[in-house]
Structure 1
Amino acid sequence: MDMTQEQKQYLQKFWADMERAGDELRNQPMPELREEDFFLFKKTGNRLIYEGEYFGRRKYLTVFGILSEFEGKEENLKMLAQVLDAICTERFWALPAHVNFDALDEKTIDLFAAETAQSLLEIVDILGDKLPLQTVERVVCEVTDRVIVPFVTSTVPYSWWEQDRCNWAAVCAGSVGMAAIYLSHWYEKRQQPKDERLPEGWKQAVIDRVCDALHCYLDGMEEDGACTEGLGYFAYGMSYYTGFAQALYQETKGSIDLMKKPKCEKIALFQQKCYFGGGVSVSFSDGSSHETFLPGLTSYLKHCYPQVVTPDYSLARSFDGDACYRWLSNERNIRWLKQYGNAETENGTAKDWSYELLEAAQWMMCKDPAGNGYAAKGGNNDENHNHNDIGHFLCIYEGEMLLTDLGAGEYTRDYFSDGRYGILCNRSLGHSVPLINGQEQCAGKEYAADAFCWEEKDKTLTISFGGAYPDGCIHKIQRSIRAWDEDVQLHLCVEDSFEVSKQTRTITENLVTQYLPIVEGNVIQIQGNRAKMEITVEGADGDIQILSESHSNHNGQQEPVYLVQWDVKLQGKDTVCNMSICCSPR
C-alpha cells in the first residue's frame, strides 16, 4: 500500500531539506572542536558553545550518511568518508557535561559517545562496501576501542545509566547494543578474527546487559505508559529502544521481540495524549509546549500497535528541528516511514471532550473537541527531570498556552546540580501553585501529592498537595478543577481549599503566564494573539500583583514571564479561594 498524502509530502520536503543541506555543507569546512570550549563547561558551566560545534559536526555525518544511503552519489560517499575519518580523530565523543573532570576519561560512554558509535557502525553496516576500506577499518577500530571494549570488559554497571530508570538507559544501552550487532556483522562478513581484547561470547554478553538495561528503562516509565521526563524524552528514549528492538528481532530471526513487553503498548500511546489544539503539547518537567513528533518512530509504533494515533503532520519534526542532528531518528524518518507508512489510517476529528487520566503518573489532560482545555499534575518532587510542580495546571485555548508551563530551561552546570531549584522553570515559583508563608514547595520524593482523584460523573479533578510544602506550614491544600464549554467559550472553575496550621501566616496564590496581564480590581485579563482569558478571583486579601521575571529557554534565549500573585484572605481554620476562568477568541 502507498503512504498517505501527508507522509509523501513530508518525505518530499525532508529530502529537499537534506539535499539543500548537502549543497551547503559540501563547500564548508566542518566546525572545529576547540578544547578551550570543551573545558569552558568546567570553568563557567556553559554547554551551548561546545555543543554547537559538536552537533554541527554530527549534522555532516547525518546529511552525507542519508544522502549516500538513499541516493548513493559518488560525491556524497566521498564526503561521508571524510566525515567518518574526521569524527574518528575527535579526542572526546562524550560531551563535557557528562565527563568527570577530576578523572578525565577520553573513552567515557555517555549519550553521545554511544550514539556516535551506533551511527558510525550502522553506516558501515549499510554502506561499508562503498566506502574506502581504510576508513571502514578505522571506524571499526575506534568504536571497538572507545565503546565496545570498555563496556563489555567492565563490571555491571559500567556507569550509573546501565541500571537507571530514565532515557539514558535506552539511548546508551540501545546504541551500544546496536553497535555490537553491527560489529559482529563486520567480523562475519570479513571472516576476520575478533579484536583480541573482546572476550569469548562478547556479543551475547553485550546483548544480555543491554536487555537488562532496557528493562530498567521500561521500569522507569509509569504503569500507565507516561514518561514523566517530558514528551521529548519519550521520543528520544523510545527511538533507541525501538531501534535496538528491531535490530535484535532481525538478528535473532524473530525469536526475541522486545516490542511484546507488556508495558510497551501503553508507552506507545502516551504521545497522542499530550497534544492539544494548534499543536500545543504538555510541557511538564523538561518538556516543550511545541514538541514535534518523529514520523518514523510513530509509524513503527503504529505498525506494532494499531491504536497509536499519529499527530497532525504539521507537527512532524523537520530535519533542522533536531538541534543534535541525530543519525538514528533522522534516518528512521525515511526508512520507517517508507517501510511502515501503509500502517497509517485516518484519525478523524474529535466530536466530544476527551479526558486522559494517567493515574500512575498523576497527570490529567482534558480537551474539548477543538483541542482547548487544561492539563494538571500531581506526582512527587523527585521525578526524572523533576520540577517542583505538584498541583500545577496549565490552560490552552486557540493554540495558545495562556496559563503556562515553561518546560525545559537552558541546560547548564547548575541545571543538573545543587543550583537546579534556584532556576525559575524548575522551582515551584515558576508554576501555578501557591506559596505558603512565602515558601515554595520542596524537592524530594517525600514531597508528594496526597491524593489525585478524577470524578467521572461531574468531570472534576481534585489534587491534594499540602505535603509538598515544608513540614508544618499548612495542614492541607486541595485544588479542584472543572472545565466546560459554553458557546465558543472555555470555562474553568478552580477552587483552592486550605486547612491552615498554627504556623500558617500567609497564603499567596501564584499563576504563571507569558502574556502581559492587566489587572482591574479582582479581575485578571490575559490576551494572546488569538485568544483571551479573564480570571475572576474570589477570596483575595488586598491587591493582585504582577511580578516580571525572565526565563532562559532550552535554546538559551531569554523570554518574559509574569507571575500573577495575591494573598488569600484567611478565614479561620478553613480558607477558600476561587478562580473563575473564561477563555474566548480575541
Structure 2
Amino acid sequence: MPAIDRFTGPLAAAWPGVGPALLEQVLEPPETSLPVPPAQERATWAESRLDVPTLRRLRARAEEDLGQPWPSPLARHYARYFRDGDRDTYEQLVFARQRRLSRASVLAAATLDPDWLDEVVDGVVLLCEQSSWCWPAHDDTHTLHGAVLPTMTDPVLDLGAGEVAAQLAWIDHLLGGPLDQHTPGLRPRIRHEVDRRVLTPFAERRDWHWLGLDGDVHNWNAWIHANVLVAALRLVDDPPRRAAIVDLIIEGLDRYVASLPVDGAVDEGYGYWWQGACRALEALDILAHASGGRLDGVPGEALRHTVAFPHRMHLGGAWYLNHADGVARPPATQPWEALYRAARRVGDRDALAHAAAHRDRDAPVADEEQGLGRLLRALSHQEWINAAPGVPPLPRDVWLPSIEVLLARPTQGSPAGLTLAIKGGHNGEHHNHNDVGGFVVALNGVPVLVDAGRPTYTAQTFGPDRYDIWTMQSAWHNVPHIRGTAQATGHAYRARDVAAVTGHAKTELSLDIAAAYPRTDVRHWRRSARLERDSGRIVVTDAWDLAPTDASAPTHIHLLAAGDVQLSAGQAEITARHGAGRLRLTWQPASAPGTATARPLDDPMLISVWGRTLTRLEIDVGAATATGTFVLTVEESPTREVSSSEVPDDQER
C-alpha cells in the first residue's frame, strides 16, 4: 500500500508527539494494560465481592447452558445471506455462542472452578475453529471470489471480527493465569487466531472502507478501532509492533472524533450512538489507563457534547426518538455504566443522571448482551454498583443544528403532555430514511404519531433495493406526498431555509422541504411545527406553492399512527398504546378528506415495538391546487374508559 500522510485531528492536537516511539515508552505492559483486575485479584472477583443480582442472573443462565449443546452456526446459515438475503439466522447463532462464553467467563472468574474453566475453554476453541469471525453481510468473499462461504486466506476485519478479537483478549486478561494451569496451549492459540484474522489485516491493509480515508466516517470506525485496541494491548507481546498498531488505532480514532459535529449529534440516531460515539469514549478511557495517564482526557468539544446525545433523544420511559435505522423502544440493557463513566469524565451532570436513572440496585449492573468487556467493566466499577438511582433530565428544548433535529416538551424533567420532535437534514445520511420534514408526537412519553423505524436487517437493507423497504420510504413517514411523488434519496434532497426558535411560550422549527422531492414544479413547501406551552397543543402548518399543471396526481399529508384510530370529517382520535391516553387531531381545511390504511406488521423487530399494526392517515389536500395551506392541530383528549373491544391487538398478546 502507498504511504498515507498521517491524519491530525483533536487527538493529535491534545497529545503532541504521539507516535510509535512515545507509545513504546508510555504503554503499560500487556498484563496491566486493561482497566479490569484479573481473576487472581480475589478482592474483586470472589463470589462474595461481586454484585449479587448480576451474579445470580449470570449463574442461572450459565447453569442452564451446561445442559445444552453449544450454538452451532453452520455453513448453510452463512451461505443463506448470498442465497436468499437472510443474515439474521447466522448472526443470532454467533451472538448466542459469544454470550454463553461471556457468562462462563464471569463464573470462572468468580469461582475458579475447573468445570467453569472447561466451559470457557470449549467456547474459546469453538471461536478459534469458527471459519470466519466476519458476519456474512460484510464478507466480500462472493464479490472477490464468487464464494458463498468464507475465504480462509483472505479474512475480513469487520464489526464481528473485532468483537470476537476483543472478547478473546478480555478472556486472556481475566483468566490467563488459571487457563495456563488448567489448559496449557490455549493462550498461544488465542494469539495466533487474533493475529491472523484481525491484527495483521489491520496493520497491513489500509484500504478498509471503515477507516474513513475517503471522508465518509461512521460508527464502524470507532467500534472496530475500540475492539482492535483491546486486542493489541493485551495480545501483542512485541513492544515495537504493539506501539505501531496502537498508533494506527489512535490515528483512526482521530478521524472519527474529527468527524463529530460540535453539538455532538449522531446522524445514525440514538441506537447507533452506543456503537459509535460511546465506543470512541470507551477507547479513550482504556488508552488513558494503558498509558498511565499520559494520554488522558476527552479531547474536543464534540466528544464532550456527544455524552449528552442519549438523554437529548429521550422521549420518556423506555421510548426514544428514532430517526434513521433507530428503534423507538430499544432494549433496556444498554451499557449504562459506559455512559455513566463518560459523563463523570466530562462533568455532564444531566448525562450522569440519565445513566443513573437506569441503575436499579435489585437488578444486574450489566449483562452479557453488550459484550464481555462492558460486562467486566461494570462488574468492577464500584461507584456504578453503588450508584443511587437518578431521575432522567428530560430537557425542555433540544436543538441539534448539525442534523437539524428539534425536540420540545412542555416542562423540563417530565414526559407529561405532548412532546414534539421534527427533523430537517437530508436524505443521504448514514442509515438514511427518506424523511426530510418528518415529525413525531409522543403523549406522556409514548410515541403516537411515529417513525416506524427499521425491520430486521437482511441483504436488502444495505443493497441497491433498500428503498423498496416500506419503512425507508417517505410515503410511510409523517411528510407530504406531493402530486403522487415521494421524496428521493441522496444528499441533494434536503431541507432548506431551516430556522429553529426555542422559548418559554413556544418552540418551533420551520423549513422548506421542496428540494427533498424529485420534481421541478414544487416552488416551495414550507412546513412549520411548534409546541405551544400555554395550550399544550402542537400545530403543524404546511404552506406550498406549486407550478400549475393540467393534470397531476393528488397531494396527501401522511401521518403514521400507533394506536386505535377513529376517523371522522376533519378530525381523528387516536387511542395510544400502553395506556398513554388519547390524541385528537383536527385539521383545516376541515373539508380535506382523510382515509386510514392499516399496515399489518409481520417483522419481529417491528412487532416488538409497535404490536401487530400501524395505521397511516392520508389527508387529501387537493389534486390541482397550486397554492394552499394545511394546518394540523394535535391535542390531548380527555381520558375515557376503553372497552375490551377497543384494546389494540398488541396489548392483548
Compute the TM-score of the two structures, normalised by the length of structure 1.
0.88
Q: Which residue of 2 aligns with 1:326?
A: 371
Does the Cα contact within 8 Å between 1:475 and 1:499 map onto a contact in 2?
yes
CA distance in structure 2 between the partners assigned to 1:400 and 1:248 by the alignment: 39
Counterpart of 1:145, as a letter, is: R
* 1:245 and 2:297 are equivalent in the alignment: no
Aligned match for 2:474, one of 422, 425, 428: 428
Aligned match for 1:311, one of 335, 350, 354: 354
Does the Cα contact within 8 Å between 1:152 and 1:202 map onto a contact in 2?
no
Does the Cα contact within 8 Å between 2:323 and 2:453 map onto a contact in 1?
yes
CA distance in structure 2 between the partners assigned to 1:299 and 1:61 by the alignment: 26
CA distance in structure 2 between the partners assigned to 1:160 and 1:167 by the alignment: 8
Q: Which residue of 1 aligns with 2:644?
A: none
Does the Cα contact within 8 Å between 1:490 and 1:584 map onto a contact in 2?
no
Deviation (angstroms), 1:554 = 6.6
* 1:397 and 2:448 are equivalent in the alignment: no
Does the Cα contact within 8 Å between 1:392 and 1:433 map onto a contact in 2?
yes
Aligned match for 1:365, one of 392, 399, 407: 407
* 1:465 and 2:539 are equivalent in the alignment: no
Q: Which residue of 2 aligns with 1:499?
A: 545
Deviation (angstroms), 1:167 = 1.1
Correspondences of 1:164-243 after superposition (within 5 Å): 164-184=216-236, 187=237, 194=238, 201-243=240-282
Q: Which residue of 2 aligns with 1:442?
A: 488
Aligned match for 2:336, one of 285, 290, 295: 295
* 1:560 and 2:613 are equivalent in the alignment: yes
Deviation (angstroms), 1:385 = 0.6
Distance change >3 Å, CA 405–CA 35, structure 1 → 2: same
CA distance in structure 1 between the partners assigned to 2:199 and 2:364 by the alignment: 29
CA distance in structure 2 between the partners assigned to 1:305 and 1:495 by the alignment: 40
Deviation (angstroms), 1:475 = 1.3
Q: Which residue of 2 aligns with 1:40?
A: 80
Aligned match for 1:280, one of 314, 319, 339: 319
Distance change >3 Å, CA 412–CA 322, structure 1 → 2: farther
Output one character per residue of 1:214-273: Cα deviation in whole Å (capped at 9) or x when no partner: 123224433211111121111122343233222222222211136233321111111111
Deviation (angstroms), 1:78 = 2.4
Aligned match for 2:455, one of 409, 418, 422: 409
Counterpart of 1:82, as a letter, is: D
Q: SS where residue 260 of structure 1 aligns? A: coil
* 1:95 and 2:135 are equivalent in the alignment: yes
CA distance in structure 2 between the partners assigned to 1:436 and 1:348 by the alignment: 40
Does the Cα contact within 8 Å between 2:359 and 2:389 map onto a contact in 1?
no
Does the Cα contact within 8 Å between 1:214 and 1:241 map onto a contact in 2?
yes
Distance change >3 Å, CA 343–CA 471, structure 1 → 2: same
Output one character per residue of 1:304-330: Cα deviation in whole Å (capped at 9) or x when no partner: 122124337675698899895522333
CA distance in structure 2 between the partners assigned to 1:497 and 1:97 by the alignment: 43
Deviation (angstroms), 1:119 = 1.0
Q: SS where residue 511 of structure 1 aligns? A: strand
Deviation (angstroms), 1:77 = 2.2
Counterpart of 1:137, as a letter, is: P
Aligned match for 1:145, one of 180, 196, 202: 196
Distance change >3 Å, CA 410–CA 66, structure 1 → 2: same
Q: SS where residue 59 of structure 1 aligns? A: helix
CA distance in structure 2 between the partners assigned to 1:180 and 1:455 by the alignment: 48
Moved more, 174-183 or 341-350: 341-350
Could you list the runs of 5+ residues in structure 2 that have no partner in the other structure?
1-49, 640-653
Does the Cα contact within 8 Å between 1:58 and 1:325 map onto a contact in 2?
no
Q: SS where residue 597 of structure 2 aligns? A: strand
Output one character per residue of 1:79-117: Cα deviation in whole Å (capped at 9) or x when no partner: 112211111110011111110123353321110111100
Counterpart of 2:178, as a letter, is: K
Does the Cα contact within 8 Å between 1:541 and 1:566 map onto a contact in 2?
no
Correspondences of 1:21-32 after superposition (within 5 Å): 21-32=61-72
* 1:378 and 2:378 are equivalent in the alignment: no
Distance change >3 Å, CA 322–CA 576, structure 1 → 2: farther
Distance change >3 Å, CA 58–CA 525, structure 1 → 2: same
Q: Which residue of 1 aligns with 2:597?
A: 547
Distance change >3 Å, CA 252–CA 361, structure 1 → 2: same
Aligned match for 2:581, one of 519, 523, 531: 531
Q: Which residue of 1 aligns with 2:628?
A: 575
CA distance in structure 2 between the partners assigned to 1:388 and 1:123 by the alignment: 43
Deviation (angstroms), 1:161 = 4.1
Q: Which residue of 2 aligns with 1:451?
A: 497
CA distance in structure 2 between the partners assigned to 1:516 and 1:220 by the alignment: 42
Aligned match for 2:532, one of 461, 484, 498: 484
Counterpart of 1:170, as a letter, is: A
Could you list the runs of 5+ residues in structure 1 that have no partner in the other structure?
1-9, 188-193, 195-199
Output one character per residue of 1:371-406: Cα deviation in whole Å (capped at 9) or x when no partner: 141111111101111111110000111232110111
Distance change >3 Å, CA 53–CA 247, structure 1 → 2: same
Does the Cα contact within 8 Å between 2:499 and 2:509 map onto a contact in 1?
yes
Distance change >3 Å, CA 467–CA 531, structure 1 → 2: same
* 1:519 and 2:560 are equivalent in the alignment: no
Q: SS where residue 76 of structure 1 aligns? A: helix
Does the Cα contact within 8 Å between 1:55 and 1:325 map onto a contact in 2?
no
Deviation (angstroms), 1:174 = 1.5
CA distance in structure 1 between the partners assigned to 2:126 and 2:499 by the alignment: 56
Q: SS where residue 408 of structure 1 aligns? A: coil
CA distance in structure 2 between the partners assigned to 1:459 and 1:541 by the alignment: 29
CA distance in structure 1 between the partners assigned to 2:217 and 2:170 by the alignment: 26
**Identity of paired residues, percent?**
21
Output one character per residue of 1:45-88: Cα deviation in whole Å (capped at 9) or x when no partner: 01121112111101112111222334544432221122111111
CA distance in structure 2 between the partners assigned to 1:220 and 1:124 by the alignment: 33
Q: Which residue of 2 aligns with 1:197?
A: none
Deviation (angstroms), 1:556 = 6.8
CA distance in structure 1 between the partners assigned to 2:368 and 2:583 by the alignment: 34
CA distance in structure 1 between the partners assigned to 2:203 and 2:442 by the alignment: 48
Q: Which residue of 1 aligns with 2:398?
A: 356
The total of aligned residue pairs comes to 558
Distance change >3 Å, CA 167–CA 71, structure 1 → 2: farther
Distance change >3 Å, CA 347–CA 314, structure 1 → 2: closer
Q: SS where residue 285 of structure 2 aligns? A: helix
CA distance in structure 2 between the partners assigned to 1:576 and 1:12 by the alignment: 61
Does the Cα contact within 8 Å between 1:84 and 1:120 map onto a contact in 2?
yes
Aligned match for 2:522, one of 474, 486, 497: 474
